[in-house]
Amino acid sequence: MIIKPKTRGFICTTAHPEGCAKQIEQQIEYVKAQKKIQGPANVLVVGASTGYGLASRIAAAFGAGANTIGVFFDRAAEGARTATAGWYNSAAFEQAAQSQGLRSFSIVGDAFSNEIKAKTIDLIKSEFGQVDLVVYSVASPRRTHPDTGETFTSVIKPVGEAYSNKTMNFHTGEVSMTSIEPATEDEVRQTIAVMGGEDWKMWIDQLLKAGVLADGATTVAYSYIGPEITHPIYREGTIGKAKNDLEQSAHQLQALLSDKGGRAFVSVNKALVTQSSSAIPVVPLYISALYRVMKENGLHENCIQQMYRLFSEHLYNENAKDANCLIRIDDWEMREDIQAEVMKRWAQVETDNVDELTDLVGYRQDFFQLFGFESEGVDYEADTDANVDIPNLV
């Protein structure tokens, strides 16, 4: 079939297999062109098919030569429906890993469930024996608790009082004011249940009990802080409450793992266009302005560059944590000069000057590339087979 993007708000319901493969190829090429990473040998990535989790898997495999298991929630093509981007990404990853003699396996299913955890543990036992790095990079709108059966839905809302600020429709470039009512207590509770640290702790606990976590193992999950203008909707909002919980969980995991020399971290990453971040109000306009300023200053990074920096400079460096036990690879985003310039533009930006002041073009391109569109060297008019198998799918 000929596959074109079909968007509904911040969602694209189609994905292009060759375009996704191209994106993977570029990420692999980037990592292979850098100095080899000294670090992990057998890696589990939970949430491995897109965004930061995918880039972590690529950095581990192609940067450090590690064996990897990726767990993710994606679907294959069916009838007239294409597969999801994460499916095509993982197919391309597995093919590339195989062709370079790296051992890798993929598990598709709900990481929040006991079944998928048990399946992953069995796979680690039979193929690797143990893993020495666990990356937790799940971003999801809902979670069913494996023990109680309660389904929680996460919301992106301020806490306490309503929040108004500029926002942008990145398809049209229209800048407008948005006002978001505060979350209820129950919405806060549910968002923490989805995006907080409970599931990360369950993973580590079960891996530990099953004896598949190597002595001295490292685990890392990802967080975001960002500038004050987004604090009411992000860091002090429902999602920020969940991130506080995630960061607390790192301390608990550190205590649990330290007996055998293990380590738990939260890495605070840069704001980037991913399927998850494009769903947050206000943030796409901030990211567009940030991209422009960081590109002008030669400081722009995408997921793979961030993850290469995390793996090569921070994760295996004892001095890499700040006073709050966080790894800060958002350091360039948060630099005073960068933020000052972004804020100057923020005050001025409106529909008429959005192209002049921000990198709306770059934002849009990154958004479509998440789904395998707008990749250079791909013929989007050509007939393509949407049915792609993931090698080593367990």
Q: Which of 30, 62, 72, 88 binds ligand NAD (CB under 6 A)?
A: 72
Q: What are the start-end ranges of the H helices in the chain?
A: 17-32, 51-58, 64, 85-99, 114-123, 185-195, 198-209, 238-257, 283-296, 303-309, 336-348, 354-357, 360-370
Q: Is 111 annotated as a binding residue?
A: yes
Considering beta carbons, is residue 214 or 303 the nearer one to ligand NAD?
A: 303
CA 277 to chain centre: 9
Q: How big is the site for ligand NAD, counted in residues (CB under 6 A)?
A: 29
Considering beta carbons, is residue 95 or 278 the nearer one to ligand NAD?
A: 278
Does 112 bind ligand NAD (CB under 6 A)? Our answer is yes
Q: Is 164 annotated as a binding residue?
A: no
Does 224 bind ligand NAD (CB under 6 A)? Our answer is yes
Q: Is 197 annotated as a binding residue?
A: no
Q: Is 88 annotated as a binding residue?
A: no
* Residue 259 Cβ vs ligand NAD, minimum distance, rounded to whole Å: 27
Q: Which of 18, 74, 333, 366 binds ligand NAD (CB under 6 A)?
A: 74
Interacting stretch for ligand NAD, rule CB under 6 A, among 5-13, 66-74, 331-339, 350-358?
66-74
Collapsed DSSP state (helix, strand, coil) of residue 178: strand
Q: Which of residues 235-294 bind ligand NAD (CB under 6 A)?
A: 269, 271-272, 274-277
Identify the CA nearest to 161 among candidates 141, 131, 143, 183: 183
- Pick the catalytic residue from 234, 286, 291, 308: 234
Considering beta carbons, is residue 146 or 182 the nearer one to ligand NAD?
A: 146
* Residue 331 Cβ vs ligand NAD, minimum distance, rounded to whole Å: 13
CA distance 229 to 282: 9
Q: Is 272 annotated as a binding residue?
A: yes
Considering beta carbons, is residue 273 or 354 the nearer one to ligand NAD?
A: 273
CA distance 153 to 155: 7
CA distance 245 to 276: 19
Q: Is 52 annotated as a binding residue?
A: yes
CA distance 17 to 21: 6
CA distance 378 to 365: 14
Considering beta carbons, is residue 151 or 387 the nearer one to ligand NAD?
A: 151
Does 50 bind ligand NAD (CB under 6 A)? Our answer is yes
* Residue 375 Cβ vs ligand NAD, minimum distance, rounded to whole Å: 17
* Residue 142 Cβ vs ligand NAD, minimum distance, rounded to whole Å: 8
CA distance 358 to 360: 6
| Tokens of residue 4, six digits | 């074109």
The yes-or-no answer on residue 234 being catalytic is yes
Tokens 């944590």 label which residue? 321
CA distance 152 to 154: 7
CA distance 223 to 234: 11
Tell me how far CA of residue 342 lies from CA of 18, 75, 289, in angstroms: 35, 38, 6
H or E stretch including 233? none
Q: Which of residues 92-111 bind ligand NAD (CB under 6 A)?
A: 110-111
CA distance 347 to 351: 13
x-marked contacts with ligand NAD along 136-155 as a string, rule CB under 6 A? -xxxx---------------
Considering beta carbons, is residue 102 or 279 the nearer one to ligand NAD?
A: 279
Query: 171-180 burial, b if ≥16 CB within 10 A, otherwise e?
Result: eebebeeeeb
x-marked contacts with ligand NAD along 346-385 as a string, rule CB under 6 A? ----------------------------------------
Round to the nearest angstrom and report the end-to-end CA distance of the chain: 27
Q: Which of 58, 60, 71, 180 binds ligand NAD (CB under 6 A)?
A: 71
Q: In angstroms, what is the C-alpha Rg of the chain?
A: 20
- List residues binding ligand NAD (CB under 6 A): 47-53, 71-74, 86, 110-112, 137-140, 222-224, 269, 271-272, 274-277
Binding site members for NAD(+): 47-52, 110-111, 138-139, 243, 272-274
Binding site members for substrate: 224
Active site residues: 234
